[in-house]
């Protein structure tokens, strides 16, 4: 059996930062990832990372903006800590080697992002995620960490309420192995692929969140799904908020700058939930372009600015939408973008099982509450990745030896074998397509009880059909028919939690908008949703929000 003090699953920004912290504390650390670390989805982040380092800005306003952005569902103690860490975190990443864009005086350049009081978003052109991912990966190379590259997580092994390690397989050989560890840190990123229209990569299937859920850990606030206002039509590839931060404007079919009606003060830079709802309303009320979208205009910014600061955006628009943003408007419509929910943790990254930790988009601390501000999640991966690594390092000093037994492995091998043994059955990709259609149509930006219940029935019917899913490919190397099947199983489990949480929450807050309960209801709903796995579906309970200094107010932009 393989064995390490600490196993980190996921090698995006959160996982790598956690591994770095744990290794620096002197522990034997393994980093397991289904993709090469540099291919993690963090690399796709475009716009930037928030830190109130400008003279006119302050940590205090960053805290306030985040609390307000969260629609008062974020835990204020965690948000305070988070914003205080922002400056040191960005400085550390610069010291690790990240190449940021600079101002003339040699300091870090900053741009405006939605929902922020000041230009607070530090960036590297429009590929900030890639710059950070390269910086940390380069730095990680100076530590001794065992990397299990292209290994796929199957399960978190728990016995007597304590984590014993994980089971996983090497994609090259498909041999199921146990990796014993006193502490497991899950940093497996988002699960945007429960939706069809999503900015997330194909690999964002919530494998770690689903494994934690099946192992008995609580998930938090899963009904809060962020839709980004500006994704390309057809491909749903993201056009960063930075495009509006640089001065881009949204227009409807009448050439009207419609955000003036929805957010008279900050217009196009209102919070994401606000802008997304505005676009959907415009299109629904007949002011969209034929085909159902609005325009994002950058032409007035000039060729020079567009081509240097928004280089990737130019390429994406030209390649994937056939428009040149220097001379033409970009057709955009909202798409799923970020999951506020995830594995429930506290500020130290501790989940609800002994020895289990989580960080990054897979986790929910919560600092984003009901709606995340752009630029806050890259920061979250680093701040709380480090926290989880430090906490796990402290924990393993005193933890007993873990043990993975043969039957833990046999169970997983049998699960795979069963997928193979069926001579007929459902295609995992067909099930995935139906799931995505269901979620797009019935569990989107505006939610009605009828649609949510219909969505739940459909998701459960798909879960039922999944019991008969079949893998045709029999190869033991790079069998993506098999990984498709495993991933779809995870997506189905998580979709159910999203819908059940959304049905229960009879209010509108942040990204969760109920047509039948259009107002925020602080009296009954100022609380986190917790969901635990049971054979009959998720069991919900609720936990209080941590307050320090900010009284809930109505959110106006």
Partner 1 sequence: MFADEKLINVPFDVYRYDASRGGEPRYQHYELRLAPHTPILTGLLRIRDELDPTLSLRYSCRSAICGSCAMLVNSKSRLACHTPVGPEVREHGRIVVDPMRNQPILRDLVVDQQPFWSRYEKMEPHLILDPKHPMPEGRTTPMSPAQVERFKETPRCISCAACFSACPAVEADPAFPGPMALAKLYRFVVDPRDTAQTHRLRTIQTEGLWLCLRCHLCTEACPKDVRPSERIRDLKELAVQAQGGTEAGSRHAIGFLKNIEERGTLNELKLVRQTSGVTGLAASLPQGVRIWRKKPEVTKSPPPIEDLDQVKKIYAALKDEKAEES
Restricting to residues 128-157, which ones interact with ligand FAD according to CB under 6 A? Answer: 128-129, 152-153
C-alpha distance from residue 514 to each of 123, 130, 161, 449 (Å)? 35, 36, 37, 8
Query: What's the closest the beta carbon of residue 308 comes to partner 1, in angstroms?
Result: 10
Beta carbon nearer to partner 1, 41 or 447: 41
Instruction: Tell me, residue by residue from 465 to 494, as one string, x for binding to partner 1 by CB under 8 A and - for no binding.
Output: -------xx-xxxxxxx--x----------
Place of tokens 């928030």: 50
102 binds partner 1 (CB under 8 A): yes
For β-strands 146-149 and 121-122, DSSP reports them as unpaired
Tokens representing residue 429 in the block: 């990709």
- CA–CA dist 480, 334 (Å, integer): 29
CB under 5 to 8 A by kind: which of partner 1, ligand FAD, none does 476 bind? partner 1
CB under 5 to 8 A by kind: which of ligand FAD, partner 1, none does 128 bind? ligand FAD
> Residue 553 phi/psi, 5° resolution?
-130, 165
Beta carbon nearer to partner 1, 35 or 358: 35
Place of tokens 């835990």: 75
361 binds ligand FAD (CB under 6 A): yes
CA dihedral 278, 280, 281, 284 (to 10 degrees): 160
Instruction: Tell me, residue by residue from 133 to 172, as one string, x for binding to partner 1 by CB under 8 A and - for no binding.
Output: -x---xx-xx-----------------------------x
Query: What's the closest the beta carbon of residue 491 comes to partner 1, in angstroms?
Result: 15
Restricting to residues 232-261, which ones interact with partner 1 according to CB under 8 A? Answer: 234-235, 237-238
DSSP state of 265: T
Contact pick of 11, 13, 73, 108 for partner 1 (by CB under 8 A): 108
List of E strands, 322-449: 330-339, 342-344, 356-358, 363-364, 446-447
Selected range binding ligand FAD among 370-378, 387-395, 414-422, 459-467, rule: CB under 6 A: 370-378
Query: What's the closest the beta carbon of residue 233 comes to partner 1, in angstroms?
Result: 8
CA 105, 108, 111 angle in degrees (round to 5)? 110
Query: What's the closest the beta carbon of residue 185 comes to partner 1, in angstroms?
Result: 22
Query: What's the closest the beta carbon of residue 229 comes to ligand FAD, in angstroms?
Result: 13
422 binds partner 1 (CB under 8 A): no
Q: Given 39, 272, 372, 509, which residue is catalytic?
A: 272
CA dihedral 276, 278, 279, 282 (to 10 degrees): 160
- CA–CA dist 537, 70 (Å, integer): 28
- CA–CA dist 445, 451 (Å, integer): 12
452 binds ligand FAD (CB under 6 A): no
Contact pick of 32, 53, 370, 462 for ligand FAD (by CB under 6 A): 32
Query: What's the closest the beta carbon of residue 486 comes to partner 1, in angstroms?
Result: 14
Is 198:207 a contact under the CB 8 Å cutoff? no
For β-strands 176-186 and 356-358, DSSP reports them as parallel
Angle between helices 13-24 and 376-396 (to 10 degrees): 30
Contact pick of 48, 115, 288, 455 for ligand FAD (by CB under 6 A): 48
Is 227:445 a contact under the CB 8 Å cutoff? yes
For β-strands 225-232 and 162-170, DSSP reports them as unpaired
Query: What's the closest the beta carbon of residue 316 comes to partner 1, in angstroms?
Result: 6
381 binds ligand FAD (CB under 6 A): yes
Tokens representing residue 191 in the block: 């699960």
CB count in 10 Å sphere of residue 104 = 6
CB under 5 to 8 A by kind: which of ligand FAD, partner 1, none does 291 bind? partner 1
272 carries an active-site annotation: yes
Selected range binding partner 1 among 35-43, 348-356, 368-376, 530-538, rule: CB under 8 A: 35-43
Place of tokens 């590297």: 124
- CA–CA dist 212, 326 (Å, integer): 46
Query: What's the closest the beta carbon of residue 64 comes to ligand FAD, in angstroms?
Result: 18
Beta carbon nearer to ligand FAD, 208 or 428: 208
Is 80:96 a contact under the CB 8 Å cutoff? no
Residues that bind ligand FAD (CB under 6 A): 9-15, 32-35, 37, 40-42, 44-49, 128-129, 152-153, 187-190, 199-200, 207-208, 238, 240, 337-338, 360-362, 374-378, 381
Residues known to be catalytic: 272
């Amino acid at each position: 059996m393989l064995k390490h003090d600490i196993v980190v699953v996921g090698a995006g920004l959160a996982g790598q930062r956690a591994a770095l912290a744990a290794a620096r504390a002197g522990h034997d650390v393994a980093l397991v990832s289904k993709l090469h670390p540099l291919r993690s989805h963090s690399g796709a982040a475009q716009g930037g990372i928030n830190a109130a380092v400008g003279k006119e800005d302050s940590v205090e306003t960053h805290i306030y903006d985040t609390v307000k952005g969260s629609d008062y569902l974020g835990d204020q103690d965690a948000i305070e800590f988070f914003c205080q860490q922002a400056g040191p975190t960005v400085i550390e990443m610069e010291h690790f080697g990240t190449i940021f864009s600079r101002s003339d005086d040699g300091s870090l350049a900053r741009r405006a992002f939605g929902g922020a009081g000041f230009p607070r978003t530090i960036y590297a052109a429009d590929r900030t995620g890639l710059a950070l991912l390269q910086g940390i990966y380069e730095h990680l190379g100076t530590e001794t960490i065992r990397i299990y590259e292209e290994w796929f997580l199957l399960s978190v092994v728990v016995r007597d309420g304590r984590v014993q390690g994980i089971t996983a397989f090497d994609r090259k050989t498909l041999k199921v192995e146990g990796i014993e560890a006193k502490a497991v840190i899950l940093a497996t990123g988002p699960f945007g692929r429960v939706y069809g229209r999503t900015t997330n990569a194909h690999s964002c299937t919530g494998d770690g969140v689903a494994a934690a859920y099946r192992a008995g850990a609580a998930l938090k606030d899963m009904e809060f799904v962020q839709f980004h206002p500006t994704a390309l039509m057809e491909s749903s590839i993201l056009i960063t908020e930075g495009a509006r931060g640089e001065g881009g404007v949204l227009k409807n079919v009448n050439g009207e700058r419609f955000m003036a009606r929805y957010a008279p003060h900050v217009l196009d830079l209102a919070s994401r939930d606000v802008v997304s709802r505005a676009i959907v309303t415009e299109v629904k009320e007949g002011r969209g372009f034929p085909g159902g979208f609005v325009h994002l205009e950058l032409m007035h910014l000039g060729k020079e600015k567009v081509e240097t600061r928004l280089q990737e955006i130019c390429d994406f628009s030209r390649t994937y939408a056939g428009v040149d943003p220097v001379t033409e408007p970009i057709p955009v419509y909202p798409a799923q973008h970020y999951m506020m929910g995830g594995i429930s943790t506290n500020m130290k990254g501790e989940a609800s099982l002994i020895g289990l930790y989580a960080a990054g988009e897979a986790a929910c601390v919560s600092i984003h509450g009901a709606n995340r501000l752009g630029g806050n999640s890259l920061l979250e991966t680093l701040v709380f990745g480090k926290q989880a690594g430090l906490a796990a390092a402290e924990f393993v000093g005193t933890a007993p030896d873990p043990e993975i037994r043969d039957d833990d492995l046999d169970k997983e091998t049998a699960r795979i074998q069963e997928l193979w043994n069926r001579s007929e059955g459902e295609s995992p990709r067909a099930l995935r397509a139906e799931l995505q259609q269901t979620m797009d149509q019935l569990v989107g930006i505006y939610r009605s009880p009828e649609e949510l219940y219909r969505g739940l029935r459909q998701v459960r019917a798909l879960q039922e059909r999944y019991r008969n899913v079949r893998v045709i490919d029999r190869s033991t190397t790079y069998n993506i028919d098999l990984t498709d099947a495993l991933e779809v199983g995870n997506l189905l489990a998580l979709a159910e939690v999203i819908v059940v949480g959304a049905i229960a929450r009879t209010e509108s807050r942040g990204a969760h908008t109920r047509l039948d309960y259009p107002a925020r209801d602080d009296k009954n709903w100022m609380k986190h949703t917790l969901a635990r796995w049971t054979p009959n579906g998720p069991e919900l309970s609720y936990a209080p929000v941590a307050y320090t200094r900010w009284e809930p107010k109505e959110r106006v932009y």
